[in-house]
Amino acid sequence: MPKPEKVAQVKEIAAALSSTDTYYFFDFRGLTFAEAEDLRARLAQAGAGLRVVKNTLAKIAAAEAGVEGLECFLQGPTAIVYCHGDPVRVAKVIQDFMREKRKGAVRGAKLQRTLLDPAGVEKLAALPGREQLIGQVVGLIAHPLTGLVTVLSGPIRNLAVVLSQIQEQKAQAA
Instruction: Kindly report, residue by residue over 91-109, the tens digit of the pLDDT.
Output: 899 989 888 888 788 888 8
Average pLDDT rounded to a whole number, residues 15-44: 87
Strand, helix or coil at 88? helix
| Per-residue model confidence as pLDDT tens digits over 51-98 | 888 888 888 888 888 888 788 888 888 888 988 888 888 889 998 988
CA distance 53 to 77: 8
Q: Determine the pLDDT at residue 132.
A: 78
**Mean confidence (pLDDT) of the chain:** 83
CA distance 38 to 45: 11
Nearest of 94, 87, 96 to residue 133 by alpha carbon: 87
Containing 108, the helix (H) or strand (E) segment is strand 105-111
* Residue 1: pLDDT over 60: no
pTM for the model: 0.69
Q: Determine the pLDDT at residue 41.
A: 93
Average pLDDT rounded to a whole number, residues 27-50: 88
Percent of the chain with pLDDT over 90: 4
What is the distance between the terminal CA atoms of the chain, rounded to a whole angstrom?
A: 110
Q: Kindly report the CA angle at 14 between 37 and 103, in degrees rounded to 5?
A: 30
* Residue 159: pLDDT over 60: yes
